[in-house]
Amino acid sequence: MQFLNGQDYIQQVSIDCVIFGYQKKQLKVLVPKLALKGDFSSLPGGFILQNESIDQAARRILQARTGLKDIYLEQFRVFGDLGRNNMPFFEQIVGLNQEQQGAESFNRKELEWITRRFISIGYYALVDIHQVVPQKSEIDQSIEWYTINELPSMIMDHNQIVDDALQSLRLSLDQKLIGFTLLPEIFTMKDLQELYETIYDKPFARNNFQKKMLELDVLDRLEKKFTGAANKAPYLYRFRK
């Protein structure tokens, strides 16, 4: 972990990203598991270089994990309580990984750096899950999409951060036209409705939902989608950029 040295990064400030995806009527979050004994999961995150803005830092972190360059991104909250540090986490690691590579791979200075109190800027990202090729970082054992109701227990307050992100997402969804960023470019009205129902965790009336979406005047109606099912074929739509 030699990348943590010195003053390249702003001290004691981190970025944590809640990466939302959507698949099979489920809202998902991309979560890596650390390559250490003991099943530690942690939101994708990182630090801010001295010569990049916080938004740039978030994009860099997101690109590293998703491979995507243009991502819908929203800063939603800063987490700055006392006791936001990795000390308990590293103590556990040291205990569990006595003769492993994990704890030893940190030198003393790095350990001091990473176990100090951190203020974390929370971002959420909305991605088309099909475009993402999840990428482990060098400290990850794996990285996976988890359904939002089946998230693993994560370090520090990361589970709380996801809850906050979802709340912010719901608040913004009907003010800004951001829902589409979770879908493939082309979708049916039913796809869109199911997405909304998933995010808000409640049903919408089909007729009125459709009317409302069309009244927004941001959807282009394309050709029909013939699936081979024994029923009327729905139109495909695309968000007008």
**200 contact, one of DNA, a second copy, none, CB 5-8 Å limit per kind:** none
Residue 32 carries which side chain, given as an amino acid letter? P
Size of the site for a second copy (CB under 8 A): 21
Using CB under 8 A as the binding rule, whether residue 82 contacts a second copy is answered as yes
Region from 41-49, 73-81, 164-172, 186-194 binding DNA, contact rule CB under 7 A: 186-194
Using CB under 8 A as the binding rule, whether residue 4 contacts a second copy is answered as no
Q: Tell me whether residue 8 or residue 201 sits nearer to DNA (CB atom).
A: 201
Q: Please, what is the Cα angle at 151 between 153 and 98, to 5 degrees?
A: 35
User: Which DSSP symbol is given to 181?
Assistant: G
Region from 26-34, 67-75, 77-85, 203-211 binding DNA, contact rule CB under 7 A: 203-211
Both tokens assigned to 94: 């040291």
**Given the DSSP bridges, would you call strands 119-126 and 9-23 parallel, antiparallel or unpaired?**
parallel
Burial readout 98-107 (b: 16 or more C-beta within 10 A, e: otherwise): eeeebbeebe
Using CB under 7 A as the binding rule, whether residue 235 contacts DNA is answered as yes
CA distances from 209 to 127, 196, 219 (A): 23, 10, 13
Using CB under 8 A as the binding rule, whether residue 119 contacts a second copy is answered as yes
Footprint of a second copy on 36-65 (CB under 8 A): 48, 50-56
Both tokens assigned to 57: 């830092």
Interface with DNA (CB under 7 A), residue from 87, 211, 216, 240: 211
Query: Cβ of residue 163: shortest distance to DNA, in angstroms?
Result: 25
Size of the site for DNA (CB under 7 A): 22
Contact indicator for 149, 102 with CB cutoff of 8 Å: no
Query: Cβ of residue 53: shortest distance to a second copy, in angstroms?
Result: 5
Quote the CA–CA distance of 132 and 32 in Å, as a whole number: 14
Both tokens assigned to 161: 């951060």
Residues of this chain that bind DNA (CB under 7 A): 188-190, 205-208, 210-212, 214, 224, 226-235
Residues of this chain that bind a second copy (CB under 8 A): 10-13, 48, 50-56, 75, 77-78, 80-82, 117, 119, 121
